[in-house]
Structure 1
Amino acid sequence: MRIPLLRVGSVLALLLLAACRIESAAPSGGVAMAQAATPSGEVWVYTSMYRHVLDAMEPLLKERLPGIQVHWYQAGSEKVASRLEAERAAGAVRADLLMTSDPFLYERLARDGAFLRYASVNALRVPRSLMDLDARYAAVRLSTMVLVHRVGAGTAPRSFAALTDGSWTGKVAIGDPLTSGTAFTWAVFLRAQHGDAYFAGLRARGAVVAGGNAAVLQKVESGEADAGVLLLENALAAKAKGSPIEVVWPEDGAVVIPGPVAVFASTRNPVAAKALVDVLLSPEGQRIIVETGDMNAVDPRLDGPRGGPGVEGLLGRARAWTPVLLEQGLLHGGDIKEAFSRAFAR
């Protein structure tokens, strides 16, 4: 993600210098405001975070924020975005916080002035590529698109590019970028590298468009497909339950999808909303995301899920987010979806 330069008070500036994060500073009234008042009242969070992760987070929230009642509207990123857009059109946004896995939505809303600027102290260690340097949003979790392969089904594909080389004709399942936000982000990255020809190549090799990640997993497990493009968190959870799949880190780079958190400018309770952001980005909150959600934390002090690489190691295995990629998904998302539809309609 792309991020501009922030301003900060002298105390936080010294902290940033010590952490070599000069670009990541809080605007006036950010951290100080959260510390100046005792958070209380209600906070509404619109999120695509898994329900079992939210449930695991509840005891920590009650301990750290006893005066706050947190309400969750939990649904897929696309449904959350649809509800949010309807409320914005009506001029009545109920949410205080947004926490989904659609980085393009965050950038669009940020440019519309929908978010407060707030840099949590707990975000100081977050890699700069995962936060907005204007402090309008910051990643709180990382999902990763990788390859999966059914054990015993021949040799596994080694890269996303290999899915179009003819070796996997009729044996690959992928998500649908038209309905799945994570599949769309993956499509943005692959189109940026290979152009529309990549979609045409998938179609020519008989790739099965399965819908969402759960559908991709089902097709690989059932033998309808031998390999698939899947979220790492789904693959790890399935393997822990005995699924006959293996995770393959693509040699041409995994696709990391930041799941940011942001405070709406329209919030009726900014002190409580910012306090909730602090807890989500705390080491304890981040550990719950890793251990319960099988997702990577953004805190580099923590290992990845199931003993995998932490955030810095993960980013070393992934394709880099760039301003160009962000602009592609933000401004040309319709063209990308149309190119995918055109390829698979033949």
Structure 2
Amino acid sequence: MLLRPIRYLIYLLAALSLFASSSALAASGKLVLYTSQLPEDAERTIQAFSKHSPDIQVSWLRNGTSKVMSLLQEEIALGDPKPDVILIADSMNMQWLKQRGHLWAYTEAPVKGFPDSIVDPDWTYFGTKFITTLIAYHTSAAKPVAWSDLLRSPARDQIIMPNPRYSGGATIHLGTLSMAPDLGWSFFEKLANNGGIAVRGNGNAIKSVVQGDKQYAIVVDFLARNYKRKGAPIDYVFPREGVSAITEPIAILKTAKNKEAAMAFVDFILSDEGQQLVSLQGMIPAKNGISPPAGFPSISKIKVIPSNIPQILKIDDRNKERFADLFGG
């Protein structure tokens, strides 16, 4: 006698799932995106999405992760957060937003093929790619193979890196390496003693090497690859001790005014088409089965140092103060 009600329940759940999927596909109206992608990557992402979902008009703001988060925090304090979707460099800031109840759980997100480690267990944010921090070097300089090579005399006064106060990737890099048993704060102290300097962002750091002002830059991988492919006199290595990695997660705000359009945007970013775009932009896709860009191994072939995101978030202010004591800024 219970079979008929159970059957009806199954039909109802299937219908609701179909409705949810079709509503995302039929989404329309205005979508507001805040992102820390490079300007050209943000434009390319939005153009591809607009072809996929022409009835959605995307309004977007782009800046560095720290700037995006500062603006968003101001809007939240005023009770009027503007974005429907955020796509920023690191999961630490997503964790901050999640802990304060600002993210919406998208439990139907198409995450099949993505590593569990980059999908929030509560479905509030999803990693979209892997961006490692490595060593880029001028081709006239001695090739490094390890982080420790930056502590030797040939690299004295020739090292440049982004400041974690402005770069999400640099924040995770600092937090990860400073807790790594083989590196720790000793590495950063010796780096400062060897004349390492910090500048506002990854772009400024690598341009200094391209122009020959410095010989070594600690930067995100895709910038090094892209400059090399354009013929710049640089090359890059994944240091043997391992590298830090960020995943540029995406999330829907709980206050999103157009959740259907937001779901459609997340669906696109996590789709095969969206992940192929990641590769075309010179970054390592997070989804299994999507080839990395030429010149990069798959993430499974790279030694990645684990990042304790909750702990990095907890001590972030302390880390940045200690970094500033060593490198200024």
What's the TM-score once normalised by structure 2's chain length?
A: 0.88
Unaligned runs of 5+ in 2: 1-8
Report what 1:277 is aligned to.
Answer: 266
Q: Is the 8 A contact 1:34 1:271 kept in 2?
A: no
Partner SS for 2:110: helix
Q: Which moved more, 1:246-255 or 1:117-126?
A: 117-126
1:213-228 mapped onto 2 (5 Å cutoff):
213-228=202-217
5 Å matches for 1:88-237? 88-153=76-141, 155-193=142-180, 194-237=183-226
- What amino acid is the match of 1:265? K
Shift of the 57–171 alpha-carbon distance from structure 1 to 2, 3 Å rule, reads: closer
For residues 17 and 198 of structure 2, the distance between their equivalents in structure 1, rounded to whole angstroms, comes to 45
Q: Which residue in the other structure is 1:72 paired with?
A: 60
Determine if the alignment matches structure 1 residue 342 to structure 2 residue 325: yes
Which residue number in structure 2 is paired with residue 329 of structure 1? 312
Unpaired runs of at least 5, structure 1: 1-8, 12-28
CA separation in 1, counterparts of 2:257 and 2:17? 16
Note the aligned Cα RMSD (angstroms).
2.2
Equivalent residue, structure 2, for 1:241? 230
Partner AA of 2:158 in structure 1: K
Q: SS state of the match for residue 305, structure 1?
A: coil
Q: Relative to structure 1, is the Cα distance of residues 344 and 55 closer, same or farther in structure 2, using a 3 angstrom cutoff?
A: closer
Amino acid at match of 1:145: T
For the 8 Å contact 2:155–2:194, the answer to whether it is kept is yes
Query: Does the CA-based 8 Å contact 1:300-1:311 persist in structure 2?
Result: no
Distance 1:49 1:167, change over 3 A: same
Pair 1:85-2:73 in alignment? yes
The whole-number CA distance in structure 2 between the counterparts of 1:249 and 1:312 is 13
TM-aligned CA deviation for residue 113 of structure 1? 1.2
Q: Distance in 2 between matches of 1:230 and 1:31?
A: 44
Relative distance call for 1:333 and 1:58 in structure 2 (3 A) is closer
Q: Which residue number corresponds to residue 35 of structure 1?
A: 22
Q: Secondary structure at the match of 2:40?
A: helix
String of CA shifts for 1:156-187, please: whole Å, max 9, x gaps. Answer: 22122332344522221122122222212111
Q: What is the rounded CA distance, in whole Å, between the counterparts of 1:135 and 1:30 in structure 2?
A: 17
Q: Decide whether aligned partners of structure 1 residues 164 and 30 sit closer, same or farther in structure 2, where only a CA change above 3 A counts.
A: farther
Tell me whether 251-260 or 196-205 shows the greater mean CA deviation: 196-205
* Paired AA for residue 136 in structure 1: T
CA distance in 1, matches of 2:194, 2:160: 11
Secondary structure (helix, strand or coil) at the match of 1:60 reads: helix
Counterparts of 2:158 and 2:39 in 1: how far apart (Å)? 32
Q: Is the 8 A contact 2:66 2:165 kept in 1?
A: no
Larger-Rg structure: 2
Partner residue in 2 for 1:317: 303
Task: String of CA shifts for 1:188-236, please: whole Å, max 9, x gaps.
Answer: 1111123332221111111122331122112222333221211111111
- Distance, in Å, in 1 between the alignment partners of 2:130 and 2:20 is 28
Would the aligned equivalents of 1:216 and 1:228 in 2 still touch at CA under 8 Å?
A: yes
Any runs of at least 4 consecutive aligned residues in structure 1 with deviations exceeding 6 A, and if so which? none
- 2:37, 2:208 → 1: CA distance? 24
Identity %: 25
Q: Give, in whole Å, the separation in 2 of the partners of 1:272 and 1:110.
A: 21
In the aligned structure 1, how far is the partner of 2:297 from the partner of 2:195? Answer: 33
